[in-house]
Structure 1
Amino acid sequence: MIKWIETTGRSEEDAISAALFQLGLDRDDVSVEVIERAKSGFLGFGSNPAKVRVSYEVEDGSPKPMMEDLLEEISVRQEKPRQVEKKPQPREERVLSAAPVQEKEEEQPAAPVEEETILSAKPGWKSQQPRRDRRNEGKRRPAPGQLQEGDEVLISSREHKPLRTETPAVPVSEDDEKAQKIATFLTGLMEHLNVQAAPEIFVTEEGNYKVRLQGQDLGAIIGRRGETLDAIQQLTNYAINHGQSKRVRIHVDAEGYRSKREEALQRLAVKVAGKVVKYRKNMTLEPMNAYERHVIHTALQDYPNVTTYSTGVEPNRRTVVAYAPGQK
């Protein structure tokens, strides 16, 4: 069962900390959606606190967090008690009962495919159910997994080719001018950033280069979710390929971050796909770059009853893991 609470604070971190304190959970046990960012205003005017929604998963019948029980006791007078039916519910209705109680205001059709949002590659996922419009109830609903009118450009997982596996890279030779140019550029860039890191360069049979930055405390050049490392890689590719008739691909890594990130994304993809099949609800991942979205598509291209597509515009383009019964 998925539950969530909303909290506010002077900053996003303060709001998240308040939610974790109320739930008695750790940061890795929840997923966070920033609803409203904090605004400082001008001279104290127009300032607004940050508002976040923190979602967490609990097993049916498992004890609830202590702080949550206290909150429910306070608000119990404002909520109607749920009706307990002795008659066993159909499977489709049991799936719908996983949604928060306060959002279930009317009887819903069986086995709908609803949209969920995943905002972190860490364990935990968020429930976000749109309210149902009675005006659309008489219209024909598309089958689960089918596209609806108004959807953005979609990319099916089956349209993606598997990730190309390059041959093992070998150390470059001393007379490799391209490698020398890469080493000179990255060494100068590291000195400019006041980072003690030395590049180790390898070349593949395809003629592409792989660079491993070796050093200590390289977190500064990796950045949040690898954003700084991506920027360094883009700068390196531009500097080396600028004005050249034949372009080469340069892959820059530090402390094995990219391989670890790829493994984490593959685990996330399988975990989310399992939840999609279990709850019969589409789930949207956090914004990712094209390569990371490709990792998700490829990881799930053979997953039964699941398909994937991308939606949105860069840099906020996301991957949707959709429920598609019968998909193999």
Structure 2
Amino acid sequence: MEWVETTAETIELAKNLALDQLGVAEDDAEFEVVEEPKQGLFGRTRGEARVRARVRPNTPRGKNERRDRGPKRTPRAAGEGNNSRRGPKSGSDRPKREPRPPREERAPRTDMPPVDPATVSVAATTFLNGLLAAASLTGSAQATVAGEDIDINVTGDEVAMFVGTKGATLMAIQDLTRVVSQRRLGDHETHLRVDIAGYREKRREALSRFAHKVAADVLASGQPRVLEPMNSADRKIVHDSLVEVAGVETRSQGQDPHRRVVVAVAGSDSESDD
């Protein structure tokens, strides 16, 4: 029987997935743990467990075992073997096992009370402070809560290393913080935003200045300008910066991650879904 390979959050889950594919009970399978999940921050695991499994092969009888089966049968008379009735041959006396039925998906819980945004902010800042400590950086995360909006600012020495090129690392940390808070508290309706070393405000100011310069060039030349690809947050900054500039308009074109802002003279053809 060929090996099958499965991955899951834990070794036990990976084994269960393999048994589902093989259609046998655990006693009838053999496993090899290829990779175990690693321990991460705050006791959480990183990566996935990887397991190989196959149906346990039937062990062939040894020579000595075959010799001990009893006295040899006496030879039959000629023609006796042709006239005797014999049962149908079978490769195995074991009955075929029915495939396991698929596991039922658990229905989402609907009786959970709403999560207080202040509780979410505590979970998020705790995670971010732990991230700084794990990276041996001196700094802290401070949260401001306004209704369902949570703004967290991370400050300290060398924390700017967590910003990344054009804020890519910052966005990844923000997404990770959201996931951690949801894992701990369940789904919630809060809007969480993370800023590191004041990057967002600096980025907003720089993009706004750049957008106004581009608008001036478009008005002077009458030719549209297609900007470099931007994420949705940066595109919104450009749109908002030029919305009140007379004589120009902005639109977006293309598909993410290559979606761009076009700055053109007002009245030209436009199509945008930003």
- What is the distance in 2 between the residues matched to 1:288 and 1:226? 11
- What is the distance in 1 between the residues matched to 2:128 and 2:258? 29
AA aligned opposite 2:215: A
Q: Tell me which residue corresponds to 1:256.
A: 198
Task: Provide, for residues 135-184 of structure 1, a one-character-per-residue CA deviation record: whole Å limited to 9, x for no partner.
Answer: xxxxxxxxxxxxxxxxxxxxxxxxxxxxxxxxxxxxxxxx9422221122
Q: Tell me which residue corresponds to 2:248.
A: 306
Work out which structure has the larger RCO, using CA pairs closer than 8 Å and 6 or more positions apart in sequence.
1
- What is the distance in 1 between the residues matched to 2:257 and 2:267? 31
Q: CA deviation at 1:293?
A: 0.4
- What is the distance in 1 between the residues matched to 2:225 and 2:134? 42
Identity of counterpart residues, as a percentage?
34
- What is the distance in 2 between the residues matched to 1:240 and 1:314? 27
After superposition, residues 128-143 of structure 1 pair within 5 angstroms as none
Q: CA deviation at 1:199?
A: 0.6
CA contact (8 A) 1:237 1:249 kept: no
- TM normalised by structure 1 equals 0.43
After superposition, residues 3-152 of structure 1 pair within 5 angstroms as none
Q: Tell me which residue corresponds to 1:322.
A: 264
- What is the distance in 1 between the residues matched to 2:268 and 2:200? 34
Q: 1:274 to 1:186 in 2, by over 3 A?
A: same
CA contact (8 A) 2:141 2:154 kept: yes
Structure number with greater Rg is 2
Q: 1:183 to 1:326 in 2, by over 3 A?
A: closer
Secondary structure of residue in 2 paired with 1:236: helix
AA aligned opposite 2:179: Y
Q: 1:326 to 1:313 in 2, by over 3 A?
A: closer
Flag as ranges the 4+ runs of structure 1 deviating above 4 A: none
- What is the distance in 2 between the residues matched to 1:191 and 1:289? 30
Q: 1:192 aligns with which of 134, 151, 167?
A: 134
1:233 and 2:184 correspond: no
AA aligned opposite 2:162: I
Secondary structure of residue in 2 paired with 1:319: strand
Q: 1:216 aligns with which of 138, 153, 157?
A: 157
Q: Tell me which residue corresponds to 1:244.
A: 186
Secondary structure of residue in 2 paired with 1:296: helix
AA aligned opposite 1:281: Q
Q: CA deviation at 1:302?
A: 2.2
CA contact (8 A) 2:149 2:191 kept: yes
Q: 1:314 to 1:326 in 2, by over 3 A?
A: closer
Q: CA deviation at 1:228?
A: 1.0
Secondary structure of residue in 1 paired with 2:188: coil
Task: Provide, for residues 246-279 of structure 1, a one-character-per-residue CA deviation record: whole Å limited to 9, x for no partner.
Answer: 3211111122111111111111111100000101
AA aligned opposite 2:260: R
Task: Provide, for residues 159-216 of structure 1, a one-character-per-residue CA deviation record: whole Å limited to 9, x for no partner.
Answer: xxxxxxxxxxxxxxxx942222112211222233343321111111x22111111210
Gaps of 5+ in 1: 1-174
AA aligned opposite 1:179: S
CA contact (8 A) 1:265 1:296 kept: yes
CA contact (8 A) 1:300 1:306 kept: yes
Q: 1:276 to 1:252 in 2, by over 3 A?
A: same
Secondary structure of residue in 1 paired with 2:229: coil
CA contact (8 A) 2:148 2:189 kept: no
- What is the distance in 2 between the residues matched to 1:176 and 1:294? 28
- What is the distance in 1 between the residues matched to 2:243 and 2:155? 35
Q: Tell me which residue corresponds to 1:132.
A: none
CA contact (8 A) 2:118 2:145 kept: no
- TM normalised by structure 2 equals 0.51
Q: Tell me which residue corresponds to 1:291.
A: 233
Secondary structure of residue in 2 paired with 1:281: coil
CA contact (8 A) 1:241 1:247 kept: no
- What is the distance in 2 between the residues matched to 1:200 and 1:250? 13
AA aligned opposite 1:250: L
Q: 1:286 to 1:193 in 2, by over 3 A?
A: farther
- What is the distance in 2 between the residues matched to 1:317 and 1:196? 37
Q: CA deviation at 1:326?
A: 9.1
